[in-house]
Amino acid sequence: MSRLSAGDRLRRMLELVPWVMSQGGAELNEVAQRFDYPEAELREDLVRVLFVVGLHPFTPDELIYVMGLDEEDNGGWVAISNADYFSRPLRLTPGQALGLIGAGEALLSGGEPEGPLSRGLAKLTDGLGVSVGEDLAISLGESADEWVEPLLSAATGRRQVRIRYFSFGRGQESDRVIHPLRVFSEMGNWYVQGHCQQAGGVRVFRIDRIRSLEVLAAHFDPPAETGAPSAFEARETDPRVVLRLAPGASWAIERYPTEEQVVLDSGEIDVTMPVSQISRLERLLLQLGTEAELQHSDPPVAADQARLVAQRVLDRYK
Amino acid sequence: MAARPRRKPEQVRLERLLRLIAALIETSRFLSIEELHKRVGIARGEDSAGYPENEAAAKRAFHRDMNELADAGIPVISGPVPGQERETWGYRIRKQDYSLPEMDFEADELAALHRAATAVRFDGVSGSEALWKLGGRVGEGTDAELAAVPVHPALADLFQAVTEQRVADFAYGGQPRSVEPWTLAFDQGHWYVVGHDRGRDDKRTFRVDRIEGDVALGSPGGFEQPEGTAGWVPFQPWKFGTGPAVAARLRVDPDQAVWAARRLGQEPAEKESDGSAVFEVVVRSPDAFRSLVLEFLEHAEILGPPELRADMVAWLEGIGT
């Protein structure tokens, strides 16, 4: 642990003093653990710093009382009093309130049932005067995904699962056994990242495309490191395409990862992007219509890919 | 008592900072720098907390301390010191600004909030830090991160604006906007702020990541929010537009029907004998509807009305020709 600065000590002291006061005293090691304050440092700062803090003119009755500890490293229990000005914790910053309420609300929207989280969140929002769903509305994705919870517990318990999965790219269902590593939400959808036995590698699956799921008895060993999950993880081997977009059409690629964007004198933009699934490129080409032109790809896809897929869709209308 | 080694410099500084905060809270008026120096004390020797005797050095040390307090989020306010012949600026902390409201958490509630804060990561703002103020970290948290929510620099300011009814001024689309913000929402991977745009005198939705530069906040209670305006309508862009409402019929292949129902947020109106699903969708933005239908590639087809169907055919025929 690196050395605590005066600012770190200050923040933690202002957090732990109100708690110890409200408890009427506490075990030193519990205080250290709750407030992430190395115990030896905490003991010293209580005995040699807080004990001499007080109000002018610093007569004994104006100093904070720190009881239960002494300078000889005795005592495992501490009580604090005569510090009314430090008896309440500091209010939350807007960022801290947003982070905590947002995290709680996001998890509830993911399907967590009524329980300690909703009770704790209600106390927090009542206390801070925030209306959940009105002031702040957070959706990490459709909450209808019944598989989020079982996948999460399988990931935590290192249990293999068998899924029947609909691959949008191939347009067909297949059975797979996966080792779920992480469950996460991105761009409004829930995903599970896991090692797929059939594919022989780590893949990302969209949870709303799982048709059925069975948690198996078999466990798995977690891999060393899988890196941060991303639904749009590009692999080295993915084809790269260059699309030329009409001026003002860059909105279309906001939800896709791009590796390079070059704005031409004409205002058009050349965008280089990895294509992990051909269907994803096809969808983009159809939605952009005449606003996009395929410039180049490596390895090549058909130069008239856009026309080919448009024709496939048009066949339905003939 | 055995002689103890000297305290570390950061411990001496901690003592001075704690004394300064105590002095700033325990006053009913603004205190001048000189008064604060006196109330915090003068340092005599390396192990003694307080301000240097030299006036210029003491002032510098005081301003360093004020920055440290600001970094810690301590609300120091300034104003004129009463009873002075020459106007003198002073400082204080109001207890009601400083203190967290009473919230009595059970241990399992703190543990659940801890788990949530570690499961959902807000880049840049830390919900975990908040937990220390609520009574410390209880339980293990989780190492299975469920989601990372992107955070824009203006987000905390906008959240404060919403919860304290402050008017927010910012640039958007190259135009200055003055907005009474009602709701902050995260949907489909993006943050939005909904509110009353004063310049346009109408309700508007802004994407937070398209706000240009900083957000300037007005005073608390700067506007009254009309009843029934709060909340967020999930983002389904085909439902929003300036055009008239059109009832479109969309057929989706059997193996994509479940997914389509989720995407549309509604159940099919009928099932055909081959298992295809037919949805009746209210469309106000034909362009957004076309984009939606094209997500399904050749697995979906607009059945009607004829003008939407013709529009789709014309769009597809224009591609690659």
pLDDT digits (tens, 9 = 90+) for A271-281: 888 887 778 78
CB–CB contact A89 B100 (8 Å): yes
Q: What is the pLDDT of residue A132?
A: 75
CA atoms within 13 A on the CB side of A1: 10
A196 touches chain B (CB under 8 A): no
CA distance A141 to chain B (A): 7
Give A167 or B103, the one with higher predicted confidence. B103
Which of A42, A49, A301 to mutate to probe the B interface, most B CBs <10 Å? Answer: A49
Amino acid at B254: P
Alpha-carbon distance A107 to B44, whole Å?
54
Q: How far apart are the first and last CA of chain B?
A: 94
Give B93's strand partners.
B76
CB–CB contact A116 B117 (8 Å): no
Alpha-carbon distance A181 to B53, whole Å?
61
Interface A-B, measured as beta-carbon pairs within 8 A, has a size of 355
Closest-CA residue of chain A to B10: A6
Task: Kindly report whether the peptide bond that precedes residue B150 is cis, defined as omega within 30 degrees of 0.
Answer: no
- What is the ipTM for the molecules in this complex? 0.72
Q: Is the pLDDT of residue B134 over 70?
A: yes
The SS3 of residue A20 is helix
Alpha-carbon distance B75 to B80, whole Å?
17
CB–CB contact A184 B295 (8 Å): no
- Considering A108-117, B10-19, B119-128, B194-203, the range whose residues carry the highest mean pLDDT is B10-19
Cα-to-chain-centroid distance, residue B131 = 17
| A53 closest CB neighbour out of B15, B116, B124 | B15
Alpha-carbon distance B197 to B203, whole Å?
6
CB–CB contact B319 A307 (8 Å): yes
| B116 closest CB neighbour out of A88, A104, A129 | A104
| pTM for this model (two decimals) | 0.67
CA distance A278 to chain B (A): 12
Residue B57 in contact with residue B64, Cβ under 8 Å? no
CB–CB contact B295 A283 (8 Å): yes
- CB contact residues (below 8 A), chain A span 257-296, against chain B: 279, 282-283, 285-287, 289-290
Express each pLDDT in B225-261 by its tens digit.
887 766 666 567 787 666 788 999 999 998 888 778 8
Percent of chain B with pLDDT over 90: 46
A175 touches chain B (CB under 8 A): no
Alpha-carbon distance B73 to B37, whole Å?
22
Percent of chain B with pLDDT over 70: 90
Instruction: Please state, as a whole number, how many other Cβ atoms lie within 10 Å of the Cβ of residue A229.
Output: 20
CA distance B292 to chain A (A): 9
